[in-house]
Amino acid sequence: AQSVAQPEDQVNVAEGNPLTVKCTYSVSGNPYLFWYVQYPNRGLQFLLKYITGDNLVKGSYGFEAEFNKSQTSFHLKKPSALVSDSALYFCAVRAFSSGSARQLTFGSGTQLTVLP
Amino acid sequence: DVKVTQSSRYLVKRTGEKVFLECVQDMDHENMFWYRQDPGLGLRLIYFSYDVKMKEKGDIPEGYSVSREKKERFSLILESASTNQTSMYLCASSQGQGAPPLHFGNGTRLTVT
């Protein structure tokens, strides 16, 4: 069975500092990885995805994520955090070989707070 | 921009009531999803539809049913609401076979008393 772990429920970072939100996964075969963000009182928004190719994936709002196959990780990063980045972040994984859209597993979420 | 609209932002229902949650998308997407979001549990898939009248059970379908009579509309039905169905419900859509959810509605926070 596939799974996603977001080991930190809460991450606090000062504005202007780099931020990292951690994600590790377990899946059979090659992974299809995603990051989503949920701003207060809103639905989720897609941030970025990794399928194949370059291990560093760039997404919306200046975010990027680094795929590390040996560590089975897909950490979300941003060089300089903004207060407006404060939100709930979800990592998700699916086996690349799976043809079904329903086979997506979400992590439990990490609340990011950027302090002014 | 794709828009996924959920008909109610907040809903309060009584135990045993039949509850309908409506979702409409405006981009002719094939795939539509209903998720439930609970603190510490992330998102869990209730049902998925890949075409009109076609549906698949997700991870937690018990106590729920769905209807997709038109491509743009995907309804989630709680046949007899229970207090353990108090939650945030999120609808989503995507285009293409196997495409994961990319566009989400703002959610319906359902409270069952």
Could you read off the pLDDT of B19-48 as tens digits, one per residue? 999 999 999 999 999 999 999 899 999 999
User: Token pair for residue B13?
Assistant: 């229902």
pLDDT at A98: 66
Q: Which segments within A1-116 are labelled E, that is strand?
A: 3-5, 10-14, 19-21, 24-26, 31-38, 44-50, 56-58, 64-68, 73-78, 87-95, 105-106, 110-115
Strand partners, A95: A31
Is the CB of B90 less than 8 angstroms away from the CB of A44? yes
Tracing tokens 């089975």 back to the chain, one arrives at A72
> Which residues of B are less than 8 Å from A32 in CB distance?
100
Interface contact A92, partner B, CB < 8 A: yes
- Closest residue to B41, CB basis, from A42, A94, A108: A108
Interface contact A10, partner B, CB < 8 A: no
pLDDT at A99: 64
Question: Considering chain A, what is the average pLDDT of its residues?
Answer: 92
Instruction: Measure B99 CA to nearest chain A CA, in Å.
Output: 5
pLDDT at B46: 96
